[in-house]
């Protein structure tokens, strides 16, 4: 069984394809907690849970009651068919961490279905889970936004950095790009060296940096420092357009 947290049609808010009309499928579960991002979500039982800005799609213990268990491809196709999409709309598979389902036959079949409809399929992934590109050729036709986590996530390096996974995705996928979440403090504390140590494993992959933040106010606090950092390094600045516009993450 795979778990679906939410689905919605919006625009891509981050990275290389920012602004592109996109149908999002947010899957439940993750291999990290990322409590360093400092976002707090309150469960239905009134428990405050610390994590990333989509902690409600990470923490099954406190939010799993709102997740939908999917047992058949037809369930996902029914959801897809409930939307009227232009052929150029992207499909974004996000989470949590969607690649925890990478070897699931149902998940693979859904990707094949989406590609058969002519959509670009993009994964929003932390880049720490390896993909078997030889066994599942479908992944060779996907795009991967490699949101590799930095020290500001408070995750240990051994969990954050999977060199083999990064190299395989960079080598065998149709398209891949790095997308780092950066804040004013980490720039001052030498995040440059940390990013260099990651991107050296895939030197041909483009680098995007976006400001940390789950709210307009937090984005505003960090964005100018991230812009200056990108100008210095020649990286591409990515805003978080969905937060800038709607000041929230659910359903946008």
The string of DSSP letters for 109-137 reads HHHHHHHHTT--EEEEE-S-S---TTT-G
Q: How confident is the model at residue 248 (pLDDT cuts 50, 70, 90)?
A: low
The domain total for the chain is: 1
Asked if residue 252 belongs to a domain, the reply is no
pLDDT computed for residue 53 by the predictor: 85
Q: The CATH number of the domain where 198 resides is what?
A: 3.20.20.70
The answer to whether the CB of 122 falls within 8 A of the CB of 145 is yes
Q: What is the pLDDT of residues 70-108, one digit of tens each?
A: 999 999 999 999 999 998 899 999 999 999 999 999 999
User: Could you give the CA distance from residue 12 to residue 155 in angstroms, rounded to a whole number?
Assistant: 26
Is residue 206 one of the residues assigned to a domain? Answer: yes
pLDDT of residue 182 exceeding 70, the answer is yes
> Is residue 93 one of the residues assigned to a domain?
yes
Is 48 inside a domain boundary? yes
SS3 178: strand
DSSP category for residue 13: -
Question: 143 in a domain, yes or no?
Answer: yes
Tokens of 224: 């100018």
Q: What is the pTM of this model?
A: 0.94
Please give the helix or strand (H or E) that residue 146 lies within, else none: strand 143-146
Within a domain: 156: yes
Q: Give the structural domain span for 96.
A: 2-246
On whether residue 251 sits in a domain, the answer given is no
Q: Evaluate if residue 22 carries a pLDDT over 80.
A: yes
179 close to 145: Cβ distance less than 8 angstroms:
yes
């Amino acid at each position: 069984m795979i778990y679906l947290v939410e689905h919605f049609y919006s625009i891509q808010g981050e990275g290389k394809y920012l602004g592109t009309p996109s149908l999002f499928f947010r899957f439940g579960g993750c291999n990290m907690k990322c409590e360093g991002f400092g976002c707090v979500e309150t469960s239905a039982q009134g428990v405050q849970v610390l994590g990333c800005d989509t902690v409600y799609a990470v923490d099954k213990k406190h939010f799993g009651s709102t997740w939908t268990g999917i047992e058949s491809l037809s369930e996902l196709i029914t959801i897809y068919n409930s939307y009227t999409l232009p052929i150029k709309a992207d499909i974004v598979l996000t989470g949590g961490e969607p690649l925890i389902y990478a070897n699931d036959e149902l998940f693979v079949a859904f990707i094949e279905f989406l590609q058969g409809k002519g959509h670009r399929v993009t994964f929003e992934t932390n880049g720490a889970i390896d993909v078997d590109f030889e066994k599942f050729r479908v992944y060779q036709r996907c795009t991967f936004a490699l949101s590799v986590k930095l020290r500001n996530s408070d995750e240990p390096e051994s969990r954050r950095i999977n060199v083999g996974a990064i190299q395989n995705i960079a080598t065998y996928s149709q398209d891949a790009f790095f997308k780092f979440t950066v804040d004013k403090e980490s720039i001052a504390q030498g995040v440059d060296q940390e990013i260099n140590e990651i991107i050296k494993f895939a030197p041909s992959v483009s680098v995007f940096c976006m400001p940390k933040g789950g709210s307009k106010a937090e984005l505003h606090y960090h964005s100018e420092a991230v812009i200056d950092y990108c100008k210095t390094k020649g990286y591409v600045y990515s805003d978080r357009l969905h937060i800038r516009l709607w000041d929230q993450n659910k359903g946008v």
